[in-house]
Amino acid sequence: MSSTSPKSAPKKSKGIHPSKDKLHSLHLDRHGWTGKRLAATFEWDFPAKLLPTRRDEVSERWSDRMDLALVDAIRASYAQPGPGAPTEAMLHAQRETHDAYGQYLAHNIAANAIQVSCGRGCSRCCHHFVTSVHALEVLSVYENLRAQDNLEALMQACQKRVEDFDAWVEFCEETYPERTPSEREDLALEHYYDERLPCPFLEDDGACGVYPDRPMTCRMYLASSPPEYCEAENVTDERADVFTIPADESIAVRLERLDRSADYWGHSPDLYRSLVKLHEWRRRWTPGA
C-alpha cells in the first residue's frame, strides 16, 4: 500500500468507535475482506503485567521432556525433506514446549489466584497483528493449514493483513517522526488493533481455527476483567485487567534453539508474513513434502 492511503492522524477523544459498524460484516465475510480503510481514533498504552516466575517440580519434569524432544528435533532437522518442511520429531518438540508452557501458565494462574475471564468465543485479542512468533511455531500452523481446501484464500487473507500493517508502519513513520522506531511500531500495532481486522484463522463462532498449534504469543495474552475491557477504547480504563504471562526462561531458551533447527527459510517475527513466505517456499521447493 502506498503512502497515499487515506489514513488520518488519530484523534484522542473517546467517542463511539467508528469500526463498530464494520465488525459484523468482517465476521460474516472474513476471507472476502475488502480492505477498506478506517481512521484510528485512539492512542493507548497497552498495560502489560509480568508475573513472577514460579518454578516447581512440574516445570523441572517438563524441562527434561523438552530437552529429549529438542535433541531429537535437532537431529531430525538434518533430514528435513526441504526448506521449511519439518519432520515429525520437530513438530513433536514444538508440542512439548507448548505443553510445558501450558503447565507453567496453569501453575502461575493458580499461584497468583487469578480469575481468568478469557474463554472460547471471546476473541477480541485475535484482532491484533500477531508478532513475536518462532520458526517452528509457523511451521506447525502451516502443517495444520496446508491440508485445508481454503489454503490459498487463507494465505491471501494473511497477505492482506501484512499489507495493512505495513501501511500503518509507513503512516506512523510519516506522522510521528519525533518518535523512536520502536514507539512507532507500537503505534502501528495499536492502529491495527483499533481497526478490528480479525485473524484469518478466527472461526465464525469466535474460536481459533488453529487452536492446538496457536503460537505462544497467542497463549500468553490474558484478562481477568470482563471482555468489554479488552476493547481499544476501554483498555486504559482502571477496571481493565489485561496482561501477559511470558514463558519462563527454560521454555524460551528451548524455543530459541528450536528456531535454529527449523529456520531454513528465514522466518520473520510476525505470523502472517512468515506464513506467506513459507507458503511460497513450499510451493517452489518442496511441493509434495
Which residues of this protein are in contact with ligand SF4, per CB under 6 A?
126, 130, 199, 201-202, 208, 210, 214, 218
In the complex, what is the shortest distance from the CB of residue 129 to ligand SF4, in angstroms, rounded to a whole number?
A: 9
**CA atoms lying within 13 Å on the CB side of residue 64:** 4
Name the strand (E) or helix (H) holding 171.
helix 151-175
Q: DSSP 3-state assignment of 216?
A: helix
Site of grid cell 505462544: 216
Identity of the residue, 100 or 199, whose beta carbon is nearer to ligand SF4 in the bound complex: 199
Nearer to ligand SF4 by C-beta: 29 or 56? Answer: 29
Cα–Cα distances in angstroms (integers) from residue 257 to residues 58, 124, 129, 265, in the given order: 22, 31, 25, 16
Joined together, the cell numbers standing for residue 112 give 497468583
- Residue 209 C-beta: closest distance to ligand SF4, Å: 6
| Three cell numbers written together for 248 | 519462563
Least distance from C-beta 205 to ligand SF4, angstroms? 12
Beta carbon nearer to ligand SF4, 70 or 138: 138
Contact 73, 89 (CB under 8 A): yes
State the Cα–Cα distance between residues 168 and 110, nearest whole angstrom: 38
Distance CA 109, CA 248 (A): 14
Least CB distance to ligand SF4 at residue 168 (A): 17
Pick between residue 120 and residue 284 the one whose CB is nearest to ligand SF4: 120
With respect to ligand SF4, which residue has the nearer C-beta, 9 or 106?
Answer: 106
What is the nearest approach in angstroms of ligand SF4 to the Cβ of residue 77?
A: 24
